[in-house]
């Protein structure tokens, strides 16, 4: 290891666990060798040293996660040849047990998707499971999923091998140096990194990567960066040697029994993911905690240990060599915190790996290193971008309660309809009491309590998770049909809303937006914000209220990212940005009778197309409140969005509901929003489209103003994409011919029997009569209407192929006559 603290480095990586070592290794391979890794104690001393060392790829319906793990597996297999330091990788295989029908359905869907991505996984019978892992009881299992290339590694050896590879290429690694603070300086409304302060002196740098593991939250918070990871107890036991426990035995996982099992020193490691976990040191991780253990809670863990051991009865007959409890770090949504902080140029984070740090580290290190080097990620990061987190998630109560629950979901069945129940209700809509009175089935939407569907006034909504059709689908269908045939009223107050004001506001937003957003007062523009690479960074609307007054509206999941982007954009401009999300309610009135409803609710306004055309924005009076009414839709019908002061939103809701009664108005929830927008083919950033897409591949070229004065961020890359002609991969609408199967996401799409893509998101389409989704498909040539028409299309649902039709145009109202009429 190096010994002298340099005065400067281009990149400083904080933390010497497997993640920090991997990022340093990959930066060095990209030619960025002026890298300094600072570890407060010794490499691996936080949580890496006691990791279980599983190197398994099965279980994800994320392409990014699957490819990341496949890359890690390949890297660990070849790293010793490069560095001379073994990683301990042993491809003994994985068996994932399905103990119940819900898990079997889930794993069949996962297997179909991951085979498409390149994972070698096959479904096997209980007898075959027993042949591969004789010490386990399999007679009560339904099936297993075998991945022969998966296996195990030694976490410390992997870290040391990566560190050796980084040093061989010029990176410096210092142990025993604690980073106390990341140093920054102002840059408009945001800041930029200038260095780090350590207990041995300051180091100047351009980029910092916070890989401090379970200390990442506290370090980030000193700079106002939100990384709400929380340490929790994680258990495993190691037995004395067992006759018949082969070192070549596969890893065996039985999530229903809360356990994973592998060979260790001639005995067996039995790892546990209990359904109700325990957060550890919520107030802060001890600064000097290294290579430490936590005193096990036998009373709490006893029943879970017994159930895990029942899967491998031989463990009851041998001695226990070690019963280990150590901390692992978890985030509120069980996805890592990765990427550049929205408020600080050059401050990157890679933390909160949720007990899959070892098997993710190789691929994650490559992703972050490339992101630092190029300034943008080359994979879809919308699911784990650190910008998604909000400051309320740092609350100690929230972290304690959510961590106990979220860890328990690691081995839970991920059945549709399962929801987290802890730390709910951070925000409630200004019309929350109205939603409850109408019998809303509430769900969490980025901290907001929002209506998924309605049981009806005075009724209590009930539902059960499941993969099939449910009785409450009748309510969902009625809400969907109300919007299609009459009028619906929906609360969408959770949407992110930003007021951008000042002399330069228009110019800044026009430069940031691919569409022309600064042409006329009283006009809303649907647009994308792009990166310099042409990839989509946000999908939102910008309304010009006046030359110096704009309203930006983005989805709830894009709140932090969009706010960070616009704040960076106004860094050197005469403009301000104000987050008005909680101050302004958003009620949307949609359907063929929406005009008649609003004409009665606000008779002083002319709601005709001549006076109130599509995309127009006017101030109107409803129930004594000044409401910004915008004629726009996300549901594919004639409709308006109503932006009302939060304090008066209840009166506006009541007035619209009363005015719509003669026209068949009905409160509608987010399930209807999903099915309605999916039938119309409307996109949702982070689900159907992501940062790897350009506007032409996902059918959004119509929203781009290539010739507007001043251009826009990403224009050159967008021009290049257009010049390439018809894309070879495109987003298309897909509809199953059979009305019974349901689509969710990640189902493989086949053309003439060959997988050519996958469903990105889906819903049941009540008007179209079957499951409908948006799928990204392609091949070796342009995806033209003729190529689509010439193919025989199917969708693989849990291993069964179902006939489908595909289309580049929306299958519902393709000309948008209902929207603009």
CA distance 319 to 306: 15
Q: Band of the pLDDT at 683, cuts 50, 70, 90?
A: very high
Place of tokens 């050796």: 164
CA distance 278 to 297: 10
pLDDT, tens digit (0-9, with 9 covering 90-100), for 634-664: 999 999 999 999 999 999 999 999 999 999 9
Place of tokens 């068996």: 95
What phi and psi, each to the nearest 5 degrees, are found at residue 399?
-65, -40
Q: How many CB atoms lie within 10 A of CB 261?
A: 27
- Max CA distance (Å), the chain: 86
Treating both helix axes as pointing N-terminal to C-terminal, what angle do 63-83 and 155-168 enclose, rounded to 10 degrees?
Answer: 70
CA distance 702 to 528: 11
CA distance 444 to 421: 8
Strands 347-351 and 207-210: parallel
Q: Enter the tokens of residue 195.
A: 């260095």
Q: Enter the tokens of residue 570.
A: 């106004």
- DSSP-derived 3-state class of residue 311: coil
CA distance 630 to 594: 13
Strands 320-330 and 230-239: antiparallel
pLDDT value of position 310: 96
Taking Cα atoms as reference points, which of 375, 362, 292 lies closest to residue 327? 292
CA distance 385 to 305: 35
pLDDT value of position 572: 86
The domain ranges of the chain are 496-579, 584-675, 726-821
pLDDT, tens digit (0-9, with 9 covering 90-100), for 467-512: 999 999 999 999 999 999 999 999 999 999 999 999 999 999 999 9
Report the Cα 451 to chain-centroid distance in Å.
Answer: 21
pLDDT, tens digit (0-9, with 9 covering 90-100), for 8-33: 999 999 999 999 999 999 999 999 99
**What DSSP designation does 260 have?**
E
pLDDT value of position 785: 96
Long-range contacts of the stretch 242-245 (C-beta < 8 A, 24+) = 242/135, 242/266, 242/267, 242/268, 242/314, 242/315, 242/318, 244/134, 244/135, 244/314, 245/135
Q: How many CB atoms lie within 10 A of CB 523?
A: 18
Strands 207-210 and 11-14: parallel
3-class SS string, 353-407: CCCCHHHHHHHHHHHHHHHHHHCCCCCCCCCCEHHHCCHHHHCHHHHHHHHHHHH
* Cβ contacts of 622 within 8 Å, gap of 6 or more: 601, 602, 642, 644, 651, 652, 655, 656
Is the pLDDT confidence value at 42 over 70?
Answer: yes
Mean pLDDT of all residues in 255-282: 96
- DSSP-derived 3-state class of residue 468: coil
pLDDT, tens digit (0-9, with 9 covering 90-100), for 116-153: 999 999 999 999 999 999 999 999 999 999 999 999 99
CA distance 21 to 35: 11
Place of tokens 């649907």: 526
CA distance 441 to 451: 6
End-to-end alpha carbon distance in the chain = 71
CATH classification for the domain delimited by 496-579, as one of 3.30.70.1400, 3.40.640.10, 3.90.730.10, 2.40.110.10: 3.30.70.1400
Mean pLDDT of all residues in 731-748: 98
CA distance 679 to 466: 23
pLDDT value of position 1: 58
Burial class of 79 by CB neighbour count within 10 A (0 to 12, 13 to 18, 19+):
buried
CA distance 63 to 380: 8
pLDDT value of position 189: 86
Q: Band of the pLDDT at 188, cuts 50, 70, 90?
A: confident
Taking Cα atoms as reference points, which of 271, 215, 212, 205 lies closest to residue 239? 271
pLDDT, tens digit (0-9, with 9 covering 90-100), for 150-175: 999 999 999 999 999 999 999 999 99
Q: Band of the pLDDT at 2, cuts 50, 70, 90?
A: low
Q: Mean of the per-residue pLDDT values for the chain?
A: 97
**What DSSP designation does 116 have?**
H
Mean pLDDT of all residues in 529-552: 98
Taking Cα atoms as reference points, which of 672, 699, 669, 818 lies closest to residue 760? 699
CATH number of 726-821: 2.40.30.110
**What DSSP designation does 681 have?**
T
Q: Band of the pLDDT at 590, cuts 50, 70, 90?
A: very high
* Cβ contacts of 3 within 8 Å, gap of 6 or more: 174
Residue 718: how many CA atoms within 13 Å on its side-chain side? 28
Q: Band of the pLDDT at 238, cuts 50, 70, 90?
A: very high
CA distance 564 to 482: 37
Domain 584-675 has CATH 3.30.1360.120: yes
Mean pLDDT of all residues in 572-584: 96
Type and span of the H or E element at 469: none
- DSSP-derived 3-state class of residue 701: helix
User: From edge to edge, which strands make up the β-sheet containing 617-622?
Assistant: 617-622, 625-630, 639-645, 584-590, 487-491, 665-667
Q: Contact 490/505 with Cβ under 8 angstroms? A: no
Q: Band of the pLDDT at 571, cuts 50, 70, 90?
A: confident
Lowest mean pLDDT among 110-119, 563-572, 631-640, 690-699: 563-572
Break the chain down into helix, strand, coil percent, rounded to 5. 30, 30, 40
Distances (CA, A) of 108 to 145, 380, 733: 9, 24, 23
Mean pLDDT of all residues in 72-91: 98
Top pLDDT among 299 and 619 is at 619
CA distance 268 to 127: 21
3-class SS string, 610-676: CCCCCCEEEEEEECCEEEEEECCCCCCCCEEEEEEEHHHHHHHHHHHHHHHHHHCEEECCHHHHHHH
């Amino acid at each position: 290891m190096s010994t002298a603290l340099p005065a400067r480095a281009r990149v400083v990586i904080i933390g010497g666990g497997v993640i920090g070592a991997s990022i340093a290794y990959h930066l060095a391979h990209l030619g960025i060798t002026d890298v300094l890794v600072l570890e407060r104690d010794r490499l691996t001393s936080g949580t890496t040293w006691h990791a279980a060392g599983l190197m398994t790829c099965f279980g994800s319906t994320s392409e990014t996660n699957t490819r990341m793990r496949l890359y890690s597996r390949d890297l660990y297999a070849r790293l010793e040849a490069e560095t001379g330091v073994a990683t301990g990788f042993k491809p003994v295989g994985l068996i994932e047990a399905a103990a119940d029908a819900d898990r079997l359905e889930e794993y069949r869907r996962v297997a179909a998707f991951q085979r498409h991505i390149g994972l070698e996984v096959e479904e096997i019978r209980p007898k075959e499971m027993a042949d591969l892992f004789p010490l386990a009881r399999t007679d009560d299992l339904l099936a297993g999923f075998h991945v022969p290339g998966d296996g195990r590694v030694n976490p410390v050896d992997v870290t040391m091998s990566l560190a050796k590879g980084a040093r061989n290429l010029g990176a410096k690694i210092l142990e025993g140096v604690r980073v106390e603070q990341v140093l920054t300086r102002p840059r408009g409304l945001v800041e930029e990194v200038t260095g780090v302060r350590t207990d041995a002196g300051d180091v100047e740098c351009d980029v910092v990567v916070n890989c401090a593991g379970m200390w990442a939250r506290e370090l980030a918070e000193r700079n106002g960066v939100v990384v709400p990871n929380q340490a929790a107890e994680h258990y495993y036991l190691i037995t004395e040697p067992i006759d018949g426990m082969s070192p070549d035995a596969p890893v065996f996982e039985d999530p229903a029994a809360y356990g994973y099992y592998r060979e260790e020193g001639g005995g067996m490691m039995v790892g546990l993911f209990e359904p109700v976990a325990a957060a550890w040191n919520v107030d802060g991780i001890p600064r000097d905690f290294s290579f430490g253990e936590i005193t096990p809670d036998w009373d709490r863990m006893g029943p879970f240990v017994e159930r895990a051991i029942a899967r491998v009865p031989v463990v009851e007959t041998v001695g226990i060599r070690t019963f280990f409890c150590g901390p692992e770090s978890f985030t509120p949504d069980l996805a890592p915190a990765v990427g550049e902080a929205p408020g600080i140029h050059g401050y990157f984070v890679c933390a909160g790996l949720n007990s899959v740090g070892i098997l993710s580290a190789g691929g994650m290190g490559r992703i972050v290193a490339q992101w630092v080097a190029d300034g943008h990620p080359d994979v879809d990061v919308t699911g784990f971008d650190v910008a998604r987190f909000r400051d309320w998630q740092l609350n100690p109560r929230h972290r304690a309660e959510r961590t106990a629950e979220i860890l328990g979901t690691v081995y839970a069945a991920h059945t549709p309809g399962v929801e987290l129940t802890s730390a709910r209700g951070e925000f409630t809509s200004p019309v929350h009491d109205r939603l409850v009175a109408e019998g809303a089935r509430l769900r969490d939407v980025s901290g907001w309590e929002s209506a998924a569907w309605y049981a009806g006034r005075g009724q209590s909504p009930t539902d059960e998770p499941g993969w099939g059709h449910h009785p409450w689908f009748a309510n969902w269908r009625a809400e969907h049909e109300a919007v299609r045939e009459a009028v619906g009223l929906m609360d969408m107050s959770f949407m992110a809303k930003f007021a951008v004001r000042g002399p330069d506001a228009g110019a800044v937003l026009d430069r940031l937006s691919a569409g022309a957003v600064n042409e006329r007062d009283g006009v809303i523009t649907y647009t994308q914000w792009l990166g310099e690479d042409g990839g989509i960074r946000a999908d939102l609307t910008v309304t010009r209220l006046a030359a110096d007054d704009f309203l930006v509206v983005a989805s709830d999941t894009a709140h932090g990212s969009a706010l960070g982007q616009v704040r960076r954009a106004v860094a050197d401009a005469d403009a301000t940005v104000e987050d008005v999300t909680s101050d302004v309610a958003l009620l949307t009135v949609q359907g063929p009778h929406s005009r008649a409803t609003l004409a009665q609710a606000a008779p002083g306004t002319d709601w005709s197309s001549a006076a109130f055309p599509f995309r127009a924005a006017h101030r109107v009076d409803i129930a004594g409140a000044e409401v910004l009414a915008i004629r726009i839709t996300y549901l594919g019908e004639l409709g308006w969005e109503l932006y009302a002061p939060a304090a008066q939103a209840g009166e506006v809701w009541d007035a619209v509901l009363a005015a719509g009664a003669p026209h068949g108005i009905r409160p509608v929830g987010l399930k209807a929003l999903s099915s309605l927008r999916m039938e119309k083919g409307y996109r949702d950033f982070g689900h159907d489209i992501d940062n790897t897409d350009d506007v032409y591949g996902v059918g959004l070229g119509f929203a781009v103003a290539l010739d507007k004065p001043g251009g826009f961020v990403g224009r050159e890359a967008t021009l290049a994409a257009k010049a390439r002609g018809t894309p070879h991969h495109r987003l298309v609408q897909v509809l199953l011919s059979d009305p019974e199967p349901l689509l969710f996401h990640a189902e493989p799409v086949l053309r003439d029997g060959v997988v050519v893509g996958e469903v990105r998101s889906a819903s049941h389409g009540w008007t179209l009569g079957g499951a409908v989704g948006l799928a990204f498909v392609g091949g070796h040539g342009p995806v033209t209407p003729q190529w689509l028409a010439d193919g025989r299309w199917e969708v693989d649902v849990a291993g069964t192929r179902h006939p489908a039709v595909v289309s580049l145009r929306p299958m519902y109202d393709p000309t948008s006559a209902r929207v603009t009429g």
